[in-house]
Structure 1
Amino acid sequence: MPGLLLDTLRGTNTHKRPVWLMRQAGRYLPEYRALRAEKGGFLALVYDTDAAAEITLQPIRRFGFDGAILFSDILIVPYAMGQDLTFLAGEGPRLTPRLVDHALEALVPVPERLSPIYETVRKVRAQLGTETTMLGFAGSPWTVATYMTAGEGSRDQAETRAMAYADPEGFQAIIDAVTGVTVEYLCGQIEAGAEAVQLFDSWAGTLSPTQFERWVIAPNARIVDEVRKRHPETPIIGFPKGAGEKLPGYARETGVDAVGVDETIDPVWAARELPAGMPVQGNFDPLQVLAGGPDLESGARRVLDAFANRPHVFNLGHGIGQHTPIAHVERLLAVVRAWERN
């Protein structure tokens, strides 16, 4: 029997709410920090399938979340496409060569770099109970392309946006290449045991409406269409962070089964404007979990109440912060698990 999360993603408005948290496997957990100190750097952890499986399972053991999200990174796709990937302490990921300076054709694909990720999915799924949904994921093409182009993250993606305006055909080739690999990557995760997948478009909020249509909606729609042809029973969650008023269009036009909502969006507005009956995921502010205090409980109930009339997965508006106290997470979960739809 499917668990509460999978039922919700398939469109059932359950009386209780499933819950998982973006970045739930990671630095706020002492057991993660201990394992990382033992094993080494981030990429080494991702490619140690036993360690990656253990990290994926740690928050399930501690909190009993309804979904286990694969421990990996969105930049595994460009790594498999032939860019070199490093994680610098205190500075984040770096990809070389930068595509703002080099042609896409210069990259030599290394598709075998995807295989250990599938093995991690298999190992986790074998250890999960049927009540817990195995979640796979990938970065959406626009967000992945911003890193591939500039070689690193930035606040406004200026280099990538400028390239997309100056050379739309060249940039389209990058988007198309990422889209094709992402379809195969998600299907590989599903075939290994992922029961639902999420597309993270972390930098979707930096684009104009016209560019949003071309670089966010169109490639995500292609991914959804092609994955669904091969795996029609697997729900696909789309999370275009920062989409704002463009979110309803994204929900309608990409064809995703469920849409993630970030913390900047009023949940009452989202519940009203998103397609009727579409499952929604979100959108509690991760900084409110960090801060704790009396507003944590009332804020969580406001999100739950706003989405009471549609299927809803309780989650954060983005990833949980690394300094979040465990007690605050426990308090949040107690509120969510006590809530029931009237």
Structure 2
Amino acid sequence: MPGILLDTLRGQRTDKVPMWLMRQAGRYLPEYRELRAEKGGFLDLVYDSESAAEVTVQPLRRFGFDGAILFSDILIVPHAMGQGLEFLAGEGPKLSPPLVDTALEDFTAQPQRFDPVYETVRLCREQLPEGVTMLGFAGSPWTVATYMVAGEGSRDQHATRSLAYTDPTRFQSIIDAIGDVTIGYLAGQIEAGAEAVQLFDSWSGTLAPDEFERWVIAPNARIVAAIKDRFPDVPVIGFPKGAGEKLPGYARETGVDAVGVDETIDPAWAAPELPRDMPVQGNLDPLLLLAGGERLAQRVEYILDAFRDRPHVFNLGHGIGQFTPIAHVEQLVSQVRNWQR
């Protein structure tokens, strides 16, 4: 049985709204913190397939979500491409050497770094209840490139945007290389058991419209076409965070089956602007989930009503925050589960 989430991503409108939350497996859960303390560093946990599978299914046991999102990280792709990767406490990810100082050709690819991720997917599929969809994912080329070029995250992606303007030929080769690896990586996840996949473009909102077309829409369209050619029945969700008014163009031109809507977009605007009957996912503000209370209940109702007439997967507008109270998630789950079209 495919389950309500997979049916919705394939374009069916169901009486109940399926739900999962971005970063639903992670630091807000005490069972995750306990396992993380036992296993050590974040990257060690990602590459320990049994532990990563355990983290992936933890929120399912607690909340009964309709989808399980693979516990991993978008920077596994540059790590497999040969760039050094470490996660430093209080500082976030560091990649070395940054591409602003070196050439991609100087890296030695390490594709075997994907193998434990594929094993995690296989282990998760064995453990998931019937009807729960296994979701794989990867970062989109633009967002992955922002980390690879600068060697770390940044507020405005200055180094990467500058490189794209000053040397677009070189930057195109970086984007193409990331795209090639991403296609293979997503295919591997699907072959291991992922039933749908999501492309995260977390930093797409920093680009001007013409740059958005070149570095977000075109690379994502290439990846989607390759995945659909090999796996026509596997839905692809595109999530271009910060796209704003460029979201309808992204939805039309990339070929994605469903589109993620971040918290900055009014669903009452998105509903008529997005392609008719395209499944949408989102778009509760994670900070409102952290705050809880009556405003949370009101906003959840508003989102559900706005997307009432199209296939809708309830989700956040970005990842759940580390300090989100469990009780607020329980409140959210109860409200969505009890709502009907």
Alignment TM-score, normalising by the size of structure 1: 0.99
Q: CA deviation at 1:238?
A: 0.1
Report the Cα distance in structure 2 between the residues aligned to 1:129 and 1:336, rounded to whole angstroms.
20
For 1:233, the equivalent position in structure 2 comes to: 233
For 2:281, the equivalent position in structure 1 comes to: 281
Residues 111-147 of structure 1 show CA distances to partners (whole Å, capped at 9, x for unaligned) of 0001110000000001112210000000000000000
Report the Cα distance in structure 2 between the residues aligned to 1:217 and 1:318, rounded to whole angstroms.
20
RMSD: 0.4
Q: CA deviation at 1:293?
A: 1.2
Q: CA deviation at 1:110?
A: 0.5
1:198 partnered with 2:209:
no
Residues 27-47 of structure 1 show CA distances to partners (whole Å, capped at 9, x for unaligned) of 000000000000001000000
Report the Cα distance in structure 2 between the residues aligned to 1:268 and 1:125, rounded to whole angstroms.
36
For 1:334, the equivalent position in structure 2 comes to: 334
Which amino acid is the alignment partner of residue 319 of structure 2?
Answer: G
Report the Cα distance in structure 2 between the residues aligned to 1:74 and 1:156, rounded to whole angstroms.
19
For 1:310, the equivalent position in structure 2 comes to: 310
Superposed structure 1 runs of 4+ greater than 6 Å apart: none
For 2:29, the equivalent position in structure 1 comes to: 29
For 1:189, the equivalent position in structure 2 comes to: 189
Report the Cα distance in structure 1 between the residues aligned to 2:264 and 2:228, rounded to whole angstroms.
30
Which amino acid is the alignment partner of residue 224 of structure 1?
Answer: V
Residues 285-334 of structure 1 show CA distances to partners (whole Å, capped at 9, x for unaligned) of 10000001111111101000000000000000000000000000000111
For 1:213, the equivalent position in structure 2 comes to: 213
Report the Cα distance in structure 2 between the residues aligned to 1:112 and 1:44, rounded to whole angstroms.
15
For 2:44, the equivalent position in structure 1 comes to: 44
For 2:269, the equivalent position in structure 1 comes to: 269
Question: Percent identity among equivalent residues?
Answer: 74
For 1:149, the equivalent position in structure 2 comes to: 149
For 2:10, the equivalent position in structure 1 comes to: 10
Report the Cα distance in structure 2 between the residues aligned to 1:150 and 1:109, rounded to whole angstroms.
19
Q: Secondary structure at the match of 2:293?
A: coil
Which amino acid is the alignment partner of residue 306 of structure 1?
Answer: A
Counting matched residue pairs gives 341
Report the Cα distance in structure 1 between the residues aligned to 2:167 and 2:267, rounded to whole angstroms.
38
1:1-150 to structure 2, matched below 5 A, reads: 1-150=1-150
Q: Secondary structure at the match of 1:114?
A: helix
Q: Secondary structure at the match of 1:87?
A: strand
Report the Cα distance in structure 2 between the residues aligned to 1:164 and 1:298, rounded to whole angstroms.
42
Q: Secondary structure at the match of 2:12?
A: coil
Report the Cα distance in structure 1 between the residues aligned to 2:317 and 2:13, rounded to whole angstroms.
20
For 1:260, the equivalent position in structure 2 comes to: 260
Which amino acid is the alignment partner of residue 39 of structure 1?
Answer: K
Residues 68-97 of structure 1 show CA distances to partners (whole Å, capped at 9, x for unaligned) of 000000000000000010000011000001
Runs (5+) with no aligned partner, structure 2: none
For 1:249, the equivalent position in structure 2 comes to: 249
